[in-house]
Amino acid sequence: METAVSEVATKSDHAVPAANIPATMKAAVYVGKQTVRIEEVDTPRIEPGEILVRVEACGICHTDLKKIEYDLLAGPRIFGHETAGTVVAAGQGVTAYEPGDRVVAFHHIPCLDCFYCYRRLYAQCPVYKKVGITAGYEPAGGGFGQYIRVMDWIVQRGVERIPDTVSFERASLVEPFNTCHKAINTADPQPGDVVAILGQGPIGLMFTLLAKRAGARVIATDTIDTRLALSRSFGADISLDARSQDLSASVKKLSDGRGADLVIVAVSAPGLVEQAVRCSRPGAKILLFSQTSDKERVEVSGADICVSERMLFGSYSASVDLQKESARLVFGPEMPLEDLISHRLPLDQIASGFQLARNPDERSLKIIVQPQRWTS
Amino acid sequence: MKTEMMAAVLYGKEHLEVEPVAVPKIGRGDVLVRVRAALTCGTDVKVFRRGYHARMIVPPALFGHELAGDVVAVGEDVKGFRVGQRVVAANSAPCLDCYYCKRGLENLCEDLLFNNGAYAEYIRIPARIVKRNMYEIPANVSYQDAALIEPLACVMRGLEETHVRPGDHVAVIGLGPIGLMFVRLAKIYGARVIALGRRPTQLDRAARMGAEELLNTSTEKNVVQSVKDLTKGRGVDIAIEAVGKPSTWQMAVSMLRRGGTVNFFGGCPNDSHVALDTSLLHYSEITCKASFHHTPMHIRKGLEAVTRGDITARDFVNREEPLTNLLEVMRHLMSHNGHMKTAIIP
């Protein structure tokens, strides 16, 4: 017992902020009214059981864009939840991590002990809905700040170590990859199934990799040539240009006139869910992955669901059950995920990153913010 | 049209003759096929050695069941096929009307109609198979590729029945053509395959088919422990026994993780018995499955897989022989392990 106590004490000595942790830091703060401002804020302080991480890379996610564009959550908040960085301080009682460890951290982790957790519906767990990482203000992920405070229940189950050979940028893909991994397992495509994936942004391309991995035949659609080309190198058997082709007719032609067995809607655009239904065969499954805003309405024919016996369902956020396997796949050589990263931006250019993510060009895919970098 | 042809007749244990017989007459719904490739199968070798099969063939009978060829005559009621078409036909068709067929278990049909006689110049494809289990061969698919769909359909069904999922560790024991098909498909389905075989040549083939780990069962001291060591001490999610021996059935069970599934794919000799550790089965919640045969859906899936190029004859057929050499081929396959398939070209 004596020994154990003294070990804890040693760890907590580390927790005293080291000289190289500044008292204030820079962060991109959402202040409301669609406005993000770079501000100087206090560096977060940690409590027992928590760790402080210096953020090295944080991906921009479309849910960040929606939160800002539709003012879904009141400011001020610091968003950013696809986070990789280095542990710089470990609070009292933390034994699993110490300063210098390179880690990714998930901002949502379930309790594993409630009605929803027992049913593996982790995203519906009340603890999961709380955000366990903050760079200040109401916890909101914090990855768009230079340091984050990772709270105790996240430290216990939501942190994965990054191997030395893997970049922080690549590692930051573990969180979005895990959300796709969970969704594909829920959708459960069977080998030989025809899976149509609408949208080949970073998420759609991850779905292409995962559907291919499950032995499915993948039809990928997008409106950007480079994304269509990349989808084929990611394993899509066929890519279709949604600008010039009648998608449902093309998908049917490629599936003996039937339509796809599974359609994954990996982009949010008006009329897209209806299009997904038209691309699918009777009895097919249609997965809504990108319909995260409660402002978005979808219209489909009831008979296309009822009479044609289709199943419309959703998958949201990550699965703690698949977290280690997702990390293994992202960190390993199997998946060409490096090709997804198109931009690495210093923190002060985050607004242009949001702009680009909202209006992707021929080159842009995953846009990653590096909060330790600063140009102006 | 010839009235006589050369065909292999199986008379009993290790007894077959290639002899002149009448070209089969076809009924109104039947099709007559000129066989262009008939593949040897481990089951044929087993039947040749044992002189019987539980369900598939009762000697004396025409022999052989994996075939592709050309349509040379069609009965008057046949729809969808015409003379000159390249076709592949499965060796059976279910009734679709019995207790089992209505539950999606067409492979267990009470009235499963088997068809043998592929080792012959001509074979009659009975109406029920023409309707349910015969397909035109796509232009880019060779006769030998197409003839693989029957064993492939059995393997696809076997793997699906174990509910393999991407990332699963799958051990395949026995690396004959069937075992290698399991390796290849499990890999395509995203699994991480541990291949167990007795010969370096088989293990090399398994590596080419996508096995991540190879274990030589004739040199490895403790095979089960080695499998566990490769899976963090847990054991594999799925084990496939593709040998057909009670001892390997037992080995397959003992290398599973808790809650794992074994598929006893290799059929053992009649009256074989296997002793299993009941507390392992119970407290580790082991699922024991066996898979027999195929269904029309899987024949179709097999053809799709061959058409995509997932499985090609190049990897599974390594010899061609004329029909007159069949007896020699069977004797050779019986006495030598580690062989792939031979294509008999009648």
Mean pLDDT confidence for A63-85: 93
CB contact A185 to B (< 8 Å): yes
From the CA of B299, how many Å to the nearest CA of chain A? 13
CB-CB neighbors (< 8 A) of B188 in chain A = 191, 215
What domain range includes position A34? 2-166+332-370
Q: How far apart are CA A371 and CA A39, in angstroms?
A: 12
- Amino acid B55: pLDDT: 79
**pLDDT tens by residue, B246-276:** 999 999 999 999 999 999 999 888 899 999 9
What confidence tier does A19 reach under pLDDT thresholds 50, 70, 90?
low
Q: How far apart are CA A314 and CA A296, in angstroms?
A: 14
Angle between helices B177-188 and B200-208 (to 10 degrees): 30
Please give the residue of chain B at the shortest CA–CA distance from A217.
Answer: B308
Quote the mean pLDDT of chain A: 93
What confidence tier does A245 reach under pLDDT thresholds 50, 70, 90?
confident
**pLDDT tens by residue, B230-254:** 999 999 999 999 999 999 999 999 9
Q: How far apart are CA B156 and CA B164, in angstroms?
A: 11
CB contact A190 to B (< 8 Å): yes
Quote the mean pLDDT of chain B: 95
| Residues A291 and A202 placed together within one structural domain of the fold | yes
Spell out the residues 6+ positions from residue B283 whose beta carbon is closer than 8 angstroms to its own.
Answer: none
Whether the complex's predicted ipTM is more than 0.90 is answered with no
For residue B283, pLDDT over 90 is answered with: yes
Amino acid letter, residue B287: T
CB-CB neighbors (< 8 A) of A178 in chain B = none
The CATH number given to whatever domain includes residue A196 is 3.40.50.720
CB-CB neighbors (< 8 A) of B190 in chain A = 213-215
For residue B192, pLDDT over 70 is answered with: yes
Nearest to A365 by CA among A340, A331, A329: A340
Q: Rounded to two decimals, what is the model's pTM?
A: 0.85
- Amino acid A14: pLDDT: 42
Torsion of CA A332, A337, A343, A345, to 10 degrees: -30
| Residues A114 and A218 placed together within one structural domain of the fold | no
CB-CB neighbors (< 8 A) of A191 in chain B = 156, 159-160, 185, 188-189
For residue B224, pLDDT over 70 is answered with: yes
**pLDDT tens by residue, B319-345:** 999 999 999 999 999 887 778 999 999
Domain assignment of residue A365, yes or no:
yes
Contact A210 B188 (CB under 8 A): no
Mean pLDDT confidence for A324-340: 96
| Residues A198 and A58 placed together within one structural domain of the fold | no
For residue A62, pLDDT over 80 is answered with: yes
Mean pLDDT confidence for A1-18: 40
For residue A261, pLDDT over 60 is answered with: yes
Domain assignment of residue A324, yes or no:
no
From the CA of B189, how many Å to the nearest CA of chain A? 4
Please give the residue of chain A at the shortest CA–CA distance from B190.
Answer: A213
| Residues A18 and A152 placed together within one structural domain of the fold | yes
| Residues A126 and A228 placed together within one structural domain of the fold | no
Mean pLDDT confidence for B30-42: 97
Domain coordinates of chain B in residue numbers? 4-148+312-345, 155-290
Contact A213 B190 (CB under 8 A): yes
Domain assignment of residue A319, yes or no:
no
- Amino acid A376: pLDDT: 62
Q: A317: phi > 0 → left, psi -120 to 50 → alpha, else beta; which? A: left
**pLDDT tens by residue, B199-222:** 999 999 999 999 999 999 999 999
| Residues A8 and A32 placed together within one structural domain of the fold | yes
Best to test chain A binding among B189, B295, B301 (most A CBs inside 10 Å): B189
From the CA of B22, how many Å to the nearest CA of chain A? 40
**pLDDT tens by residue, A128-169:** 999 999 999 999 999 999 999 999 999 999 999 999 999 999
Domain assignment of residue A102, yes or no:
yes
Contact B189 A185 (CB under 8 A): no
Please give the residue of chain A at the shortest CA–CA distance from B305.
Answer: A192
Please give the residue of chain A at the shortest CA–CA distance from B163.
Answer: A190
3-class DSSP state of A197: strand
- CA of B85: how far to CAs of B68, B88, B217, B270, in Å? 11, 10, 45, 40
A237 burial via Cβ count (<10 Å: 0-12, 13-18, 19+): middle
**pLDDT tens by residue, A199-224:** 999 999 999 999 999 999 999 999 99
CB-CB neighbors (< 8 A) of B184 in chain A = none
What confidence tier does A72 reach under pLDDT thresholds 50, 70, 90?
confident
Q: How far apart are CA A237 and CA A216, in angstroms?
A: 9
CB-CB neighbors (< 8 A) of B301 in chain A = 192
Mean pLDDT confidence for B146-159: 97
- Amino acid B223: pLDDT: 97
CB-CB neighbors (< 8 A) of A210 in chain B = 166
CB-CB neighbors (< 8 A) of A217 in chain B = 308
CB contact A163 to B (< 8 Å): no
Instruction: Using an 8 Å CB-CB cutoff, list residues of chain B that contact chain A.
Output: 156, 159-160, 165-167, 185, 188-190, 301, 304-305, 308
- Amino acid A18: pLDDT: 56
Task: Kindly write down the DSSP assignment for every residue of B276-336, as one continuous string.
Answer: --HHHHHHTTPEEEE--S--HHHHHHHHHHHHHTSS-HHHHEEEEEEGGGHHHHHHHHHH-
For residue A364, pLDDT over 50 is answered with: yes
CB contact A321 to B (< 8 Å): no
For residue A63, pLDDT over 80 is answered with: yes
Domain assignment of residue A37, yes or no:
yes
Please give the residue of chain A at the shortest CA–CA distance from B301.
Answer: A192
The CATH number given to whatever domain includes residue A105 is 3.90.180.10
For residue A5, pLDDT over 70 is answered with: no
- Amino acid A20: pLDDT: 82
Number of domains in chain A: 2
Best to test chain B binding among A188, A193, A213, A326 (most B CBs inside 10 Å): A213
- Amino acid B336: pLDDT: 76
**pLDDT tens by residue, A177-187:** 999 999 999 99
Kindly report which listed range (A100-114, A279-293, B331-345) carries the lowest average pLDDT score.
B331-345
Task: Give the distance, in angstroms, between the CA of residue A11 and the centroid of all CA atoms in the same chain.
Answer: 31
- Cβ A320 vs Cβ A326: under 8 Å: no
| Residues A7 and A59 placed together within one structural domain of the fold | yes
Q: How far apart are CA A36 and CA A19, in angstroms?
A: 30
Q: Token match 């291919």: residue?
A: A212
| Residues A245 and A293 placed together within one structural domain of the fold | yes
| Residues A113 and A78 placed together within one structural domain of the fold | yes
Number of A/B CB contacts below 8 angstroms equals 25
Buried b (16+ CB within 10 A) or exposed e, B202-213: bbebbeebbbbb
Q: For domain B4-148+312-345, which CATH number applies: 3.40.50.2300, 3.40.190.10, 2.60.40.10, 3.90.180.10?
A: 3.90.180.10
* Residue range B155-290, CATH number: 3.40.50.720
CB-CB neighbors (< 8 A) of A182 in chain B = none
**pLDDT tens by residue, B7-24:** 999 999 999 999 999 999
